Amino acid sequence: MTARRGGPAALVALFGALLVAGCTAGGSSPTPASAPPALAPTAGPATPIPSTLTAWGPILDGVPPTFPRYSGARDTTAPQAASQVLVTEAKVADVSGWYHQALVAAGFSGAGGGAPAEDGSVVEAFDGSGIASGCRAQVSAKPQGTETLIVILYGADCPAK
């Protein structure tokens, strides 16, 4: 039986020839067409914690175990990209004051929380360049009913340990 030009048998033969040629050419094993391209190394410190780019800047997707945690605060879901999101029954002023003292003691410098915003929230930025070049953090405390939502942005240039 002979195959017609462009018929199924011709396609099968062509595919088989290409497959054999691809497997034997150059003596190397073929890379499957579905294999993802190799990832190029990224700039910045190697860290076991992935990072996310936010409007604030790149943040680690978690805080290291050594990062201060408000006593009794519970993990909660994030309303936005954040390194850590907690909730506590403490007042905003208590939370923001505690984080200011804890982060300054950990080597960050902060300008102070200042007066609460219209919604009662307090946001403070911290400079951790004395810890690592480019390191910075931001802690916001916002009233949510009878609780306070704590949102922490921990810069991707900060230590992950």
DSSP, residue by residue, 3-40: PPTTSHHHHHHHHHHHHHHHHHGGGSPPPPTTPPPPPP
Domain borders along the chain are 51-154
- Residues forming beta bridges with residue 87, ordered by sequence position: 74, 149
pLDDT for residue 60: 95
pTM above 0.75, yes or no: no
Query: Nearest 10 degrees: CA dihedral of 14, 18, 24, 27?
Result: 170
Q: Which two tokens stand for residue 10?
A: 């011709």
Length of the chain: 161
Higher pLDDT, 28 or 79: 79
- Residue 124 pLDDT class (50, 70, 90 cuts): very high
| CA distance linking residue 60 with residue 82, whole number of Å | 8
pLDDT for residue 21: 38
Helix (H) / strand (E) containing 144: strand 136-144
| CA distance linking residue 108 with residue 29, whole number of Å | 52
Q: How many CB atoms sit inside 10 A of residue 35's CB?
A: 8
Residue 39 in this model has a pLDDT that exceeds 70: no
